[in-house]
Amino acid sequence: MYSLILRRLNSTAALPAVSKRQLISPMAVPALKSVAPLPFKSPEAKRLRKRLLDRPGLIGVKRGMTQFYSRNGDRVPATVLEIDQVEVVYNKTVDKNGYYAVQVGYGHKLKNQTKAMLGHYRNAKVSPKETLFEFEVKDENGLVPVGSQLKADHFKPGQFVDVISKTKGKGFSGVMKRWNFSGLPATHGTSLAHRSAGSTGMNTTPARVLPGKKMAGHLGDEWNTIFNLEVLDVNAEKGYILVKGCVSGSNGSYVQIRDALKKYGSHILQDK
């Protein structure tokens, strides 16, 4: 032990520019400025983990399905989405709201508007809208000036879009229709329970039905996203967009149209 102490003293004495007092003093160690890590569930951390787009999308109304003929003569099914008076109403920022988003309104509706919403539209200098949706964007470069009108030529033929809409409500449904259960056996003692779910609980432990169990209940009337639909035709003057394939929801329902997130979106951390 004594030899180890002498060895350390000799090694410190061999340093010409540093004294023993500086080596012993805690103040001699240079302080490094560190940044507190973001909590995993904080709004900023959630925003950085998201895959976002560079620009907002449009609001449309599903008007039905038709057929579209390509230049090769192929006939494909298409959905007609109407675009009418889509204007930017408000911009959300990180400093004020915690994220970047563009609030977009559709159509014109003066009846049954509250005073608060009328003031909101007056500040944006736009007409009262039928409905409002917001599109989250990656950074402040994706914000659009308030009052700007977005037309159908916001998208180009040939590109891919995602369409978000509410599915048709089908009321209370059983497990066979709602979750594709096979049902109970048709014979061998099954009595008046052919389409039931069967046993849903467990034994003494935990002696309860766990949350999330697939059971009978309300089917439909929920938001659904159909990814990577091809834009077939765009007409800004008449105000419509033709997309290939079907779109969820009934005719006359509102839809959100955005650039295909899986093709054109990216994570904020990857860009940095």
The rounded distance, in Å, linking the Cα atoms of 133 and 218 is 25
* Residue that has been written with the tokens 């890590």 in this structure: 37
Summarize pLDDT for 121-180 with one digit per residue, the tens.
999 999 999 999 999 999 999 999 999 999 999 999 999 999 999 999 999 999 999 999
pLDDT at 47: 87
Average pLDDT by consecutive 10-residue portion of the chain (272 residues)?
A: 50 52 58 81 87 96 96 95 96 93 96 96 96 95 96 96 97 97 93 92 88 95 97 96 97 97 89 68
What are 164's strand-pairing partners? 225, 256
Model-level pTM? 0.81
Nearest to 268 by CA among 112, 94, 132, 22: 94
- State percent of the chain over pLDDT 70: 88
pLDDT at 27: 61
The rounded distance, in Å, linking the Cα atoms of 241 and 29 is 66
The rounded distance, in Å, linking the Cα atoms of 269 and 130 is 36
Do residues 160 and 181 touch, judged by C-beta distance below 8 A?
Answer: no
3-state secondary structure of 2: helix
**Residue 193, Ramachandran bin (φ over 0: left; ψ between -120 and 50: alpha; else beta):** alpha
DSSP-assigned letters across all residues of 105-126:
EES---TT--HHHHHHHHHHT-
Nearest to 60 by CA among 222, 237, 247: 247
132, two tokens: 């409002």
The rounded distance, in Å, linking the Cα atoms of 130 and 153 is 21
Superfamily name and number for 43-86+136-172+225-271: Translation factors (2.40.30.10)
88, two tokens: 């930017």
pLDDT at 21: 54
Classify residue 272 as exposed, middle or buried by CB count within 10 Å of its CB (0-12, 13-18, 19+): exposed
190, two tokens: 């099954």
